[in-house]
Amino acid sequence: MTFPDDVLKQMEEFSPFNRHLGIKGDSIEPGRVVMRLPIKPEFVGDPRRPALHGGVISTLIDSAGGAAAWSALEPGETVSTIDLTVDYLEPGGIDAPLVATAHVVRKGKRLCHVRMKVTQGERRVAEGRGVFSIHKRRD
């Protein structure tokens, strides 16, 4: 297994929260990732519409951004989120999976800046910006 592919495996299997939600990786290359979240009835935050809870959307944005940053690192390095901004553009519905695309805008020695977007079918549900701290992985 190559390093970027290992990032998706870590994001899907190592994180109990991501595993609980069902987040899966669609594709990865250095500095870019696509992740998918199948919709569950428990993700609804407003049953009157019904619309997804914003926390579910922001979790997917954070996970995709972290994976994109991580995929651009050297082996043995990892990242943690230090700043995350999410702009909700349209309510997420229950009709289709959420798909997050993330790409690295700039990677320095200590910080990595990433842009993310979440779509659901043809709808752009949210956009995000993240800053991730780069550090050596502790075993």
Structure tokens at 52: 């997804």
Structure tokens at 43: 């993700």
Q: How confident is the model at residue 139 (pLDDT cuts 50, 70, 90)?
A: low
Q: Kindly report, residue by residue over 54-104, the tens digit of the pLDDT.
A: 999 999 999 999 999 999 998 888 899 999 999 999 999 999 999 999 999
Count: domains in the chain: 1
Looking at the chain, the whole-number percentage of residues with pLDDT higher than 90 is 79
- What is the structure's pLDDT at 3? 57
Domain residues for the domain of 94 are 3-136
Residues 100 and 35: beta-carbon distance below 8 Å = yes
* CB neighbourhood size of 137 (10 A): 11
Structure tokens at 113: 């800046």
12 burial type by CB count under 10 A (0-12 exposed, 13-18 middle, 19+ buried): middle
Q: Kindly report, residue by residue over 9-35, the tens digit of the pLDDT.
A: 777 777 888 888 999 999 999 999 999
Q: Report if pTM > 0.85.
A: yes
Please, which residues bridge with residue 115 across strands? 103, 129
3-state secondary structure of 23: coil
CATH of the domain at 69: 3.10.129.10
Please, which residues bridge with residue 118 across strands? 100, 126
- What is the structure's pLDDT at 1? 36
Which residue, 136, 1, 21, 129, is CA-closest to 68? 129
How far, in Å, CA of 111 to CA of 120, rounded?
30
- What is the structure's pLDDT at 11? 76
Residues 42 and 59: beta-carbon distance below 8 Å = no
